[in-house]
Amino acid sequence: MNSDIILGRLKQWKGSIRLWWAEMAGIEDEFFAGNSDWLSGILQEDYGKEQERVSSESGTHH
């Protein structure tokens, strides 16, 4: 598991906490920040998974 996958999951977790806090406190700006963190975490995790897939494929062809 590479660092992009781990960091992506952490960003998703952070975004989920921010979304929960925004809902509890009624802070609209925090809601948008939480969504942003959550989405960037998903994208970063997917990027890390794709990197692993490509590196494993290139390793099997040599």
pLDDT tens digit string along 21-52? 999 999 999 999 999 999 999 999 999 999 99
What per-residue confidence (pLDDT) applies to 62?
52
pTM value is 0.81
Whether the CA torsion 19, 23, 24, 29 is positive or negative: it is positive
What per-residue confidence (pLDDT) applies to 1?
80
Confidence of residue 61 (pLDDT cuts 50, 70, 90): low
* 8-22 average pLDDT score: 95
Q: CB count, 10 Å around CB of 11?
A: 20
